[in-house]
């Protein structure tokens, strides 16, 4: 069977909004009175991006690589998960063509942060900022997003083969 040399991957994540935690989205700390609950730093966007990258390469999901029952990932910087994933993917001869993502949050207003978040993710992945797009949507005041109970993130990534398959 011929190989198209491209792979698509999808990622989704949700974390609960709680008081007394920092809000970190795409590696950027955001001024807000609440933050995301989780075993690691709960960076919902980096988790979705990591899952998209792992998925595109057929490498399972973030929970298999970094179980949230493992004490070593307590309060972990999620950049570590992302960097491990991209390293494994590059070792297998894949490179990211582009990455698109959406953050779903009623508050805070994320439009002032979209470009700095995209720049941070591009920097972590050693991509040009034009290869990374970050969108933000509210929950229209309904559902867990609209009631400010959670923040969700979606990500989709396209991998292209960078070295011939061996």
Is the Cβ of residue 4 or residue 75 nearer to Mg ion in the bound state?
75
Q: Which is nearer to Mg ion, 65 or 95 (CB)?
A: 65
Report yes or no: 50 and 62 within 8 Å, Cβ to Cβ: yes
Site string for Mg ion, 108-147 (x = CB under 5 A): ----------------------------------------
Paired residues of 154 in beta bridges: 12, 102
13 contributes a contact to Mg ion by CB under 5 A? yes
**One character per residue 60-99, x = contact with Mg ion (rule: CB under 5 A):** ----------------------------------------
- How near is the Cβ of 91 to Mg ion at its closest, in Å? 24
Q: Is 104 in the site for Mg ion (CB under 5 A)?
A: no
Shortest distance, position 162 Cβ to Mg ion, whole Å: 28
Q: Where are the alpha helices (DSSP H) in 19-164?
A: 44-56, 62-65, 79-91, 114-125, 143-146
Residue/partner pairs of 15-20 with CB below 8 Å, 24 or more apart: 15/42, 15/44, 15/47, 15/150, 15/151, 16/149, 16/150, 17/148, 17/149, 17/150, 17/151
DSSP annotation string for 10-44? EEEEEEEEEETS-EEETTEEE--SEEE-SSS---H
Q: Closest distance between Mg ion and the C-beta of residue 45, in Å?
A: 10
User: Which residue minimizes CB distance to Mg ion?
Assistant: 47
Binding to Mg ion in span 20-59, by CB under 5 A: 47
- Binding region for Mg ion (CB under 5 A): 13, 47
């Amino acid at each position: 069977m011929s190989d198209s040399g491209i792979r698509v991957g999808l990622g989704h994540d949700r974390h609960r909004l709680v008081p007394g935690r920092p809000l970190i989205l795409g590696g950027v700390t955001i001024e807000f009175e609440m933050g995301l609950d989780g075993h690691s730093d709960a960076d919902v966007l980096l988790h979705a991006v990591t899952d998209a990258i792992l998925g595109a390469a057929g490498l399972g999901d973030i929970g298999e690589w970094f179980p949230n029952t493992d004490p070593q990932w307590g309060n972990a910087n999620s950049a570590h998960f992302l960097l491990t994933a991209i390293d494994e993917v590059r070792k297998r001869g894949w490179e990211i063509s582009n990455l698109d993502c959406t953050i779903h949050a009623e508050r805070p207003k994320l439009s002032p942060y979209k470009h700095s978040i995209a720049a941070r993710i591009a920097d972590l992945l050693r991509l040009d900022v034009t290869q990374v797009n970050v969108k933000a949507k509210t929950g229209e005041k309904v559902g867990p997003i609209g009631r400010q109970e959670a923040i969700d993130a979606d990500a989709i990534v396209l991998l292209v083969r960078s070295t011939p398959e061996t």
